[in-house]
Amino acid sequence: MKVLVAVKRVIDYNVKVRVKPDNTGVDLANVKMAMNPFCEIAVEEAVRLKEKGVASEIVVVSIGPKACQEQIRTALALGADRGIHIETDEEVQSLEAAKLLKAVVEKEEPKLVILGKQSIDSDNNQTGQMLAALTGMGQGTFASEVVVDGEKVNVTREVDGGLMTVALNLPAVVTTDLRLNEPRYASLPNIMKAKKKPLDAMSPADLGVEIAPRLSTLKVEAPASRQAGIKVADVAELVDKLKNEAKVI
């Protein structure tokens, strides 16, 4: 069975985010970029499915500027078989991303599409669900366990109040949550081998999708910062402050 994994290039999760002084966005100049952590989990899950003999081929796709090919190569080094780069310098919002991925799904006909549940830049948590709706597939979002069983996949989901398991007809879309797996690191020999794996580049126009953002960002600001309060000497003083100063107990 073929598995398609979508990955996004985002600011490295260890980097301290700084808002630009002119409030037009977040400063990404000379900032370390990396694969979105939830997408790493998606790649890892696909690789594990291949190691179990469930997946036969893993195709990894990324949308964005030329530099996204770094993240595709990373996925190839982790075990994906070939890459597709949809190259654009425009801002691609979730709905357009889903339409581009739909076009790839129609071409590649994967049985399973795995995506991260959200990217750590825009925090939208939309693309997987939108792709599922546009392609008429079922979805297992916020997955903590994925078990393929014949023509179905059982997905255990992290939901408010606990866990919920759904059975989906294949083909289906899965979006990953943090506890699905712990991604491996790429070994140097695999990084070298990944350079020789096939990577196709195409444009949104090649896929018949027009990039037309529906949302415009008017401004981006730093959050109001909290001031550090006081240190109390002991528990008795703490309870006294909570009762008589803050009046919250």
- Of 115-134, binders to another protein (CB under 8 A) are 120-134
Choose one: 51-59, 67-75, 184-192, 211-219; the region binding another protein (CB under 8 A).
211-219
SS3 for 111?
Answer: coil
Instruction: Give me the sign of the Cα torsion angle 61, 123, 47, 35.
Output: positive
- Does position 145 interact with another protein (CB under 8 A)? The reply is no
Q: Could you give the CA distance from residue 45 to residue 55 in angstroms, rounded to a whole number?
A: 10
Q: Which is nearer to another protein, 10 or 76 (CB)?
A: 10
User: Between residue 167 and residue 206, which ones bind another protein under the rule CB under 8 A?
Assistant: 167-169, 172, 177-179
Q: Could you give the CA distance from residue 66 to residue 47 in angstroms, rounded to a whole number?
A: 25
Minimum Å gap between C-beta 94 and another protein is 7
Burial class (CB in 10 A: 0-12, 13-18, 19+), 43: buried
- Does position 88 interact with another protein (CB under 8 A)? The reply is no
- Does position 28 interact with another protein (CB under 8 A)? The reply is no
Query: Which tokens go with 166?
Result: 């759904």
Q: Could you give the CA distance from residue 7 to residue 115 in angstroms, rounded to a whole number?
A: 7
- Does position 19 interact with another protein (CB under 8 A)? The reply is yes
List the one residue out of 148, 180, 167, 137 whose CA is nearest residue 41: 180
Q: Could you give the CA distance from residue 158 to residue 145 in angstroms, rounded to a whole number?
A: 9
Choose one: 50-58, 75-83, 197-205, 221-229; the region binding another protein (CB under 8 A).
221-229
Choose one: 50-58, 106-114, 201-209, 216-224; the region binding another protein (CB under 8 A).
216-224
Choose one: 53-61, 72-80, 185-193, 223-231; the region binding another protein (CB under 8 A).
223-231
Minimum Å gap between C-beta 216 and another protein is 5
